[in-house]
């Protein structure tokens, strides 16, 4: 295997996992971040995010002197005598108020990489970006590449999921490489040679579109089954059986057909918006994407609607939310449905208590007015309603007999279909779940 010198700019969920996993398979990787606290923590052996398995991979690669951390792009591009052959841009592309992606972080990094070029380098967009961003990166690097060092730009979208990021990166379904240069394609093929998966080579624009189209399609699957669940609730059908029956058809597939209280996180909501925005910008009204968003926004209010159906006015009532992260096995609360749900409950006068196994630190600033509790039982004491927001497996293992005794009103809204309706009703709970009788 040929070893490649890599610089990864941005050590968030994507950059840190990318850097650590490439170092794990033998490449020499320097991870750079402008957040000095993150780099100091990483140098001290601490992982700034919660991601199962990441600590071990980072520690192993650091020990074998394959993985390094530094604070400046210049140092990352030329580190201890090694010049980066591949420079990944893995910084955030957050949504602007009009739904478009804010690409200023990408531009800043492209400019700094251009200043630091010493020999031929492939500049890779790893961040999720709208189609044609590659062209802007080429222009930016050209403008600031005063010594005319040869370079190419490639798109290499990332498909990892938070919560299983390390195994997703090490065992991907496919790697997509978009580039118009044979030299860049060759180098990136060498970089990904240790990964036993198909490598799809495309032009840059197609690769950029693959990422937005994939995330929007997965979001559409979730909204579709959520819309079906609404019909199940009105007819007495069971959405789990419907999803099973659909998913057994290989053309449909079983994944992303779990009804619940909507999707969130740093990817689906913002990528859906950005994809819609860029489509309109190019003169096409991709209205299907609007419907996917509308169903999701409405679905997030499922808890509020069902709570009012059972408790009438929510003023003076206490709702205990179990789970705050947008999904289990992550501490990421960016665009988590829990935030909108808590806000809507508080607006209706409810008192909201909450507990999450790993997101409490992130929740502090994002959930004003919510009482954060030390554990699930403290959260449930004297509650009128238990709302399951994130399907952490430990919530399925609570002592529900004890829970029934602790609550003022034995009422469960299972927003993730985590529990058995029969078991809960046998214990005396009033129990509602999404699309199940």
Q: Closer CB to ligand NAD, residue 109 or residue 345? A: 109
C-alpha gyration radius of the chain: 23
Among 4, 21, 25, 33, binds ligand NAD (CB under 6 A): 33
Strand pairing partners for 193? none
Among 152, 158, 329, 331, binds ligand NAD (CB under 6 A): 158
Please, what is the minimum distance in Å from the beta carbon of residue 84 to ligand NAD? 14
Burial 194-225 (b: 16+ CB within 10 A, else e): ebeeebebbebbebbbbbbeebbebbbbbbbb
The whole-angstrom separation of Cα 52 and Cα 316 is 39
Cα distances (Å, whole numbers) of residue 8 to 31, 85, 113, 304: 5, 11, 11, 43
Among 4, 7, 13, 356, binds ligand NAD (CB under 6 A): 13
Active-site hit among 7, 267, 373, 379: 267
For residues 65-124, which are near ligand NAD according to CB under 6 A? 90-93, 105, 108-109
The site for ligand NAD, by CB under 6 A, has a size of 26
Q: Closer CB to ligand NAD, residue 93 or residue 179? A: 93
Q: Closer CB to ligand NAD, residue 279 or residue 417? A: 279
Residue nearest to ligand NAD (CB): 12
Start-to-end CA distance of the chain, whole Å, equals 56
Identify which of 412, 321, 391, 417 has the alpha carbon closest to the alpha carbon of residue 360.
321
Judged by CB under 6 A, which stretch of 11-19, 141-149, 387-395, 397-405 contacts ligand NAD? 11-19
Q: Is 387 helix (H, G, I), strand (E, B) or coil?
A: strand
Identify which of 319, 273, 348 has the alpha carbon closest to the alpha carbon of residue 413.
319
Segment holding 112, helix H or strand E: helix 104-116
Among 4, 7, 8, 11, binds ligand NAD (CB under 6 A): 11
- Catalytic status, residue 197: no
Q: Closer CB to ligand NAD, residue 132 or residue 308? A: 132
Please, what is the minimum distance in Å from the beta carbon of residue 159 to ligand NAD? 7
The whole-angstrom separation of Cα 72 and Cα 31 is 9
Angle at which helices 337-347 and 302-311 cross, to 10°: 40
Among 12, 172, 262, 323, binds ligand NAD (CB under 6 A): 12
Q: Residue 124, CB half-sphere, CA atoms under 13 Å: how many? A: 27
Q: Closer CB to ligand NAD, residue 69 or residue 400? A: 69
Please give the residue ranges that form the binding site for ligand NAD (CB under 6 A).
9-15, 32-35, 38, 90-93, 105, 108-109, 127-128, 158, 160, 162, 266-267
Please give the positions annotated as active site: 267
């Amino acid at each position: 295997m040929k070893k490649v010198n890599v610089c990864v700019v941005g050590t968030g969920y994507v950059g840190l996992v990318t850097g650590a996993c490439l170092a794990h398979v033998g490449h020499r990787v320097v991870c750079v971040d402008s957040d000095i606290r993150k780099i100091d923590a990483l140098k001290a052996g601490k992982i700034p995010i919660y991601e199962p398995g990441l600590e071990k991979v980072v520690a192993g690669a650091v020990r074998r002197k394959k993985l390094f951390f530094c604070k400046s792009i210049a140092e990352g591009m030329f580190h201890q005598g090694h010049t980066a052959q591949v420079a990944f841009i893995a910084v955030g592309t957050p949504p602007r108020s009009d739904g478009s992606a804010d690409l200023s972080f990408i531009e800043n990094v492209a400019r700094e990489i251009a200043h630091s070029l010493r020999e031929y380098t492939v500049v890779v967009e790893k961040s999720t970006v709208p189609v044609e961003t590659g062209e802007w990166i080429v222009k930016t690097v050209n403008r600031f590449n005063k010594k005319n060092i040869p370079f190419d730009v490639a798109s290499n979208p990332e498909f990892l999921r938070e919560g299983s990021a390390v195994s997703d990166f090490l065992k991907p379904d496919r790697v997509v490489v978009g580039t118009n240069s044979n030299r860049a394609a060759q180098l990136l093929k060498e970089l990904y040679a240790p990964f036993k998966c198909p490598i799809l080579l495309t032009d840059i624009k197609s690769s950029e579109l693959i990422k937005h189209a994939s995330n929007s399609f997965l979001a559409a699957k979730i909204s579709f089954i959520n819309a079906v669940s609404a019909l199940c609730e009105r007819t007495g059908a069971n959405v789990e059986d419907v999803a099973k029956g659909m998913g057994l058809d290989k053309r449909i597939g079983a994944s992303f057909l779990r009804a619940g209280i909507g999707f969130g996180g740093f990817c689906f909501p913002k990528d859906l918006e950005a994809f819609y925005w860029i489509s309109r910008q190019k003169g096409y009204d991709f209205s299907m994407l609007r419907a996917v968003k509308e169903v999701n926004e409405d679905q997030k209010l499922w808890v509020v609607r069902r709570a009012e159906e059972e408790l009438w006015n929510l003023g003076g009532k206490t709702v205990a939310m179990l789970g705050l992260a947008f999904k289990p096995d992550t501490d990421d609360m960016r665009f988590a449905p829990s935030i909108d749900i808590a806000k809507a409950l508080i607006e209706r006068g409810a008192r909201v208590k909450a507990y999450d196994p790993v997101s409490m630190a992130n929740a502090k600033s994002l959930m004003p007015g919510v009482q954060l509790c030390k554990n699930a039982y403290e959260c449930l004491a004297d509650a009128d309603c238990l709302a399951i927001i994130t399907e952490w497996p430990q919530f399925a293992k609570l002592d529900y007999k004890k829970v029934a005794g602790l609550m003022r009103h034995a009422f469960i809204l299972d927003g993730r279909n985590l529990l058995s309706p029969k078991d809960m009703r046998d214990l005396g709970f009033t129990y509602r779940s999404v699309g199940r009788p």
